[in-house]
Structure 1
């Protein structure tokens, strides 16, 4: 019995680190986190891989609400740093829709303490992949990965590497993006509802760089132009714009890529030829893109409640929005219902005839009223209601309270405004 106890005690003294289950080495086994999550882990070998998964969720209560935004990722280790420049971490950010190509790749050698990058993301599932820089040497220290999320529709939405996945933007509003690699291309699209002879497109940055051979190239693809409009923006300039352009009604595309390198001037074996790829392009450097269109009204400081009807430029379907500010970027909008198209949700009431289900039960007729004004002592509201027919012969209906949905609070009378400050 004494020997059995001794053996059991020896087993219990095995370090927990060797018995702990390693973080998932594949996307299927990825450790769950969030856009603002913080994870501490350690690579167990030079071939070890750590996958972590997070989601940018859509607003189920308000499907028209754009929950996209920008994630800032900080990857760090505790001081003091290591001494081997070959050893370090590689951090890849992937979209679930394309696990073969990373949205962003960053590197932290063990001789450095931290690195930070950011990327605009739309609704979807994403993965971090942490691996070793070298196939033999690897960092044994613990690393920390921390995300920070800012919800805003004014960031590029990856992936947007071609016209089919272009980020929709509105004229006269700034949008922010960055190139995730030297070969990355960011596509954007905007629409005009009236011909505009003075459209300009501006690309700018907060502070200039020192190398005029590194920068961005801005291009416009438009059916209104016989050829592309191209503007070079070296990093030494704060901003650059296209000349005024005469653009027709419709959808137009803008794309941003790295400023092409003058390869014919690079001598074989020269220092320029040996430059790392990230030093030939403004990888990770934020830029601001603005389409200036005088024909498009400037966005109001606040949006009054007025029903706005807008058409999706991709599906051609119409939808109803409570204010002009709620219309997604790139949609055509107007204040009157379209005469030749259905709108979802319809501004008009609809009637569904009664029917008999497969089990023999009768489903009563339903009247759906999408927009009903209501006012009481607490405020003014707009509801979506359903009425169930309870007497077909007398055409009597009853309100379905379980299907009553609040669309908007027009005025909340329970909120007491503070008295003005007195001097």
Structure 2
């Protein structure tokens, strides 16, 4: 390896930026330049960068205890689990380290429930959706309804079939004797920021109830306040049997969680699943502080209000722009679909010291912190709209 070459695998297409400090909705690069962050580490820093409440809890925990085995009781786990179950439809929690691990746990729980509790070992297939994204492990990338993440990883595990999103009739036809669960995102984040239609979600819930299937909701990107409710499924008036969390739960500390209904508790008996670092003292301390702050400051409600403001502002500012096909989203997860690839546009926006990210080739994704000021929102939207207007004018 040549001098100065990276020792990292080149598996990320990185931007030519490196940050050294973060506070609130701002980041500073190694040259001291300040950026307005409207992507939040892919919907992770929902409380902004280095939020005081989480920082204080972490400092206290760092000075006390970092790790013991999950063979011992960990009080932080019990406290965070209760915060989650008290504020959701879930009854039991499994902690892990990431969204992919949480979804892997959901898949395993669904299969094991049918094999060990229901007594139907042949009922193991899970229906997911085209353009979905559920993770990078072999099982979760197979569950993902996008071929690009599967390239080069064959043979893939069996047990997944894919239905068109927002098409209840097609979904119903795909349910068969091997189906055990339907796994769905309330908003397809990586798939282009595509919200589910309420009538479709109602039908999904009805089908699961009628056919005795488990309903799994992937809340990795939508959970913990981002969509205007603490959890996105609440926007649709349903209760999943299983749902998964990660990104926003730890304010940047690595943590994932899989929540399930009481009837599923026995399926994860002692020794059936585990994680060495899952639910460790530091990550759960961050999770506790994050959840407490979300509740005390009523940030899901703020996300609903600000999300509506962002969408209406974008529609007003971009009205008549031929480059813009649609503006859509739920709460503070918003997509601007364009008529062309957006990679170059995102680079230009970055050069104006505003950070956004794509969601598929043609969608600019906005996922600001839930504590961002209205002034910062206006500043960021002005930059984005000016870039889009300039590009549209250049194309004429």
Shorter-chain TM band = under 0.3
Name the structure, 1 or 2, with higher relative contact order (CA <8 Å, separation 6+).
2
TM-score by length of 1: 0.21
Higher helix share: 2
Q: Relative to total residues, which structure has the larger strand share, 1 or 2?
A: 1
